[in-house]
Amino acid sequence: MIHPQSSAWPLSRMASVIMLACASLGLAGKSLAETSMSQTTSTEVNPADVPEADQTIQAKPADQWTGVWSRSTLLGDMGGLRSSLGQHGITLGLTEDSEYLSNVAGGLKHGGEYHGVTTLTLGLDTQRAGMWEGGSANISVLDIHGDSFSGDHVGSLQTASGSEAEATTRLWEAWYQQKFFDGKADIKIGQQSLDQEFMVSQYGATFMGTMFGWPAVPSYDMTAGGPAYPLSGLGVRLRGKLSDELTVLGGVFAGDPAGTSNSDSQQANKHGTAFNLHGGSLWISELQYGLNQPGDGQLDDGKSKGLPGTYKLGAWYQNARFGDQRYDDTGLSLADPNSSGSAAQHRGNYSIYAVADQMIWRPAEDSSRTLNAFTRLMWAPGDRNQVSFSANAGVTLTAPFDGRDSDVAGLAVGYVKVGNHLRAYDEDTATANGNPLYPVRRDETFVEATYQYQLTPWWQLQGDLQYTLKPGAGTVSSNDSTQTQRIPNAWVVGLKTVITF
């Protein structure tokens, strides 16, 4: 079990105190604001710059709201600090994401845990700072606090929350971006988290489950889970707008964000300052097609040519060496008593993927109520990878009730299939141990129902219900000394709060 650091960052403590103070004021009785989902540029510090930030709905204040209830952030101008920084092109963001998850049935252990993430972000617009046009910089720091949940309580591959990580204070992103050709192309250099731009599903980000954000294939198949939350990696990313509909992304990043041979990647790079350039490189590209999207510089006023959607095709390649999941370097099964214990090595690793986000119903052009669907499919070779296939799919309903334009309800499913060599290794283990009842890992299914409730423009609550079928893809339960029983199917309930300060 991971314990919070005794020297926890003061920002997280301040955030907790403010949250409790707000609760005592009875904010839940206040009216909601109408919201609109809008894209922001990378020079603005906003919830989209932080973990799972796309889940936070931005609200437009109702006319009757005044003061603290109507502004987009709890602390507003911070006594003039934000406006003073803004005169120099600097933006300041501070967000607290807190969750309580509880396993109520099945899994490894019943009970719950609290965990949270405080994110401090500073952004710089070079033109507003009186320098040159088209430049922007970003630096973000995370304070991760609380205890781990999924590994101790559920034992699932598709973990319950995208913010679960080891407690620490760490540098997350630190990069510079420069636009070219009237904004039709840009380059980003520095420490980056790939889950902010690659493989992203807009509607999938509504859900709390980890794999609706950063998917299972890169989480288990890239070295150290890849340069994605809570880790990041040095690299260069290029983006070009080929037409109003087509955008291409490509980049090369450090292949090992952990930077050492420590089996615990987060401990190996505990504070995000390893800046490792060893361990090979990771190459990734993605083609994006926007359907019925507003043009450059235009806001979506609800009067687009039709129902908007985004479709993506991508691939990644990592040029390190990866161990076989079944065979050793002599050709024997790793489960064989005579095995050398050293896995056969494969040169390189790769994956292909597709993502689709599509609005499928809107009663009127100016209606806040929309029905949206998403799906994401990923494949990787099964000889060198723990996970060879993963899929996410689901629907979300924005403004599900009259007067609740800020709320979102959603239902989604995730599926993970283990590689054929790992499956065969389990079969070999059963044979070697003379235990025909030994569980063989095959696949895992995850179902989530969620509801986001917007109390104010800066405060959101989210209730969540999750069901995991065959946790760990049907792996043997650590509670079973006979090694014949799988981890029982698990039910998890959760409550999440996001406050933008």
Q: What's the average model confidence in pLDDT over 263-284?
A: 90
Assigned domain for 41 exists: yes
List pLDDT tens digits, range 117-126.
999 999 999 9
Given this model, what pLDDT does residue 463 score? 99
Residue 22: pLDDT band with limits 50, 70, 90: very low
Assigned domain for 450 exists: yes
Q: What's the average model confidence in pLDDT over 194-201?
A: 98
Given this model, what pLDDT does residue 9 score? 37
The number of residues in the chain equals 501
Assigned domain for 1 exists: no
Q: Which of 12-26, 34-48, 86-100 has the highest mean pLDDT?
A: 86-100
Given this model, what pLDDT does residue 264 score? 86
- Does residue 389 contact residue 378 with C-beta atoms inside 8 Å? yes
List pLDDT tens digits, range 158-187.
999 999 999 999 999 999 999 999 999 999
Given this model, what pLDDT does residue 304 score? 58
Residue 300: pLDDT band with limits 50, 70, 90: low
Integer CA distances (angstroms), 52 to 125, 184, 198, in order: 24, 27, 14
Assigned domain for 5 exists: no
Residue 303: pLDDT band with limits 50, 70, 90: low
Is a pLDDT exceeding 80 seen at residue 50? no
Assigned domain for 3 exists: no
Residue 67: pLDDT band with limits 50, 70, 90: confident
What is the pTM assigned to this prediction?
A: 0.85
- Percent of the chain exceeding pLDDT 90 equals 79
Residue 294: pLDDT band with limits 50, 70, 90: confident
Assigned domain for 4 exists: no
- Does residue 383 contact residue 399 with C-beta atoms inside 8 Å? no
Range with the poorest average pLDDT among 99-108, 254-263, 488-497: 254-263
Distance of alpha carbon 196 from alpha carbon 343, whole angstroms: 33
Residue 263: pLDDT band with limits 50, 70, 90: confident
Q: Would the CA dihedral through 130, 173, 415, 386 be positive or negative?
A: positive
Total domains, the chain: 1
Q: What's the average model confidence in pLDDT over 456-466?
A: 98
Q: Would the CA dihedral through 21, 85, 238, 236 be positive or negative?
A: negative
- Does residue 321 contact residue 364 with C-beta atoms inside 8 Å? no
Is a pLDDT exceeding 50 seen at residue 18? no
- Does residue 141 contact residue 169 with C-beta atoms inside 8 Å? yes
Is a pLDDT exceeding 70 seen at residue 221? yes
- Residues of the domain holding 100: 10-500
Is a pLDDT exceeding 50 seen at residue 40? no
CATH number for the domain spanning 383: value is 2.40.160.180
Residue among 376, 291, 275, 280 at smallest CA distance from 321: 280
List pLDDT tens digits, range 396-449.
999 999 999 999 999 999 999 999 999 999 999 999 999 999 999 999 999 999
Assigned domain for 162 exists: yes
Assigned domain for 2 exists: no
CA end-to-end distance (rounded Å), the chain: 30
Is a pLDDT exceeding 80 seen at residue 54? no
- Does residue 158 contact residue 152 with C-beta atoms inside 8 Å? no
Query: 3-state SS of 279-346?
Result: CCEEEEEEEEEEECCCCCCCCCCCCCCCCCEEEEEEEEEEEEEEEEEEEECCCCECCCCCCCCCEEEE
Given this model, what pLDDT does residue 60 score? 38
| Average pLDDT along the chain | 88
Residue 389: pLDDT band with limits 50, 70, 90: very high
More confident residue, 186 or 50: 186
- Which tokens hold the place of 214? 């950063």
Given this model, what pLDDT does residue 296 score? 65
